[in-house]
Amino acid sequence: LLQRFTAVLIGDATTINLPDELADLFPGCGGSEGTSRAALKLQVLWDLKTGRLVELHIEPGRASDAKSPIATAEAAPGSLLVFDLGYFDLDRFATLDASGQKFISRLLHGTEIYTREGKPLDLLTYLRKQTTGLVDQEILLGKSDLLPCRLIAIRVPEEVANRRRQKAREKAAKKGRVPTAEYLELLGWSLFVSNCPEEELTWK
């Protein structure tokens, strides 16, 4: 399955809490329960095809994933890049697409979606109408970018959805917030966007 790609690059980060006295060197997020004044973040870019460690960066814990060097690392045309939501960036997706690279990402809540004809798509209303629990269709992503890609939505079991919702409530409560009803309902789906055509990668 992976041989059709020049490389399959997986990017992610791990954060390690440090003693508070190291906060000047490695400032953490701090300020909320479960966070540290000092933290170190490891940014890793891994080639799944070869097992090669492509890049490794040590950063302060509060550093933004989206601005990490691994998010802008050069990759050969035909490469597939898989990053989590912390690296979601429409401009980066557009750059990858223009350079002949492929991406798979979870969909960031609140990102505007349009039909291929350019009409706004109300995602939640659309998903409520689905009876099969699976959506795989072409869309335009982002209000200004209008990036052609696929939306893949897979309904998850209710038990999984409820666990997600509980975590979302707990995370929001730590910041004094309450998640919206729309966001909680969307957690009943796994939502992805990708510029890989269906003949290259099926939804499965």
**DSSP-assigned letters across all residues of 106-119:** EPPTT--EE-TTS-
Judge contact between 7 and 148, C-beta under 8 A. Answer: no
CB 97 within 8 A of CB 140: no
Would you place residue 201 in the very low, low, confident or very high pLDDT band (cuts 50, 70, 90)?
very high
Closest CA to 26 of 55, 65, 62, 64: 62
Residue 33: is its pLDDT beyond 60? no
Half-sphere exposure of 5 (CA within 13 A, CB side): 22
- pLDDT, residue 180, reads 94
pLDDT band at 154 (very low <50, low <70, confident <90, very high): very high
Amino acid making up residue 184: L
Burial 65-91 (b: 16+ CB within 10 A, else e): beebebbebebeeebbbbbeebbbbbe
pLDDT at 185 over 80: yes
Q: Which one, of 97, 85, 95, 100, lies nearest residue 11 by Cα?
A: 85
The total of other beta-carbon atoms located within 10 Å of residue 19's CB is: 10
Q: What is the pTM of this model?
A: 0.88
pLDDT of residue 36: 77
Q: Looking at the DSSP assignment, which residues form a beta bridge with residue 18?
A: 38
* Alpha-carbon span 133 to 127, nearest angstrom: 8
Query: Residue 51 is encoded by which pair of tokens?
Result: 């097992």
Q: Give dist(CA 188, CA 184) in Å, integer.
A: 7
Mean pLDDT (whole number) for 49-57: 95
Distances (CA, A) of 202 to 16, 51, 54: 36, 24, 27
Choose between 29 and 108: higher pLDDT: 108
What is the chain's mean pLDDT, rounded? 93
Give the rounded percent of residues in the chain with a pLDDT score beyond 90. Answer: 88
Q: How far is CA 59 from each of CA 20, 40, 45, 62, 66, rounded to the nearest angstrom?
A: 16, 6, 14, 8, 13
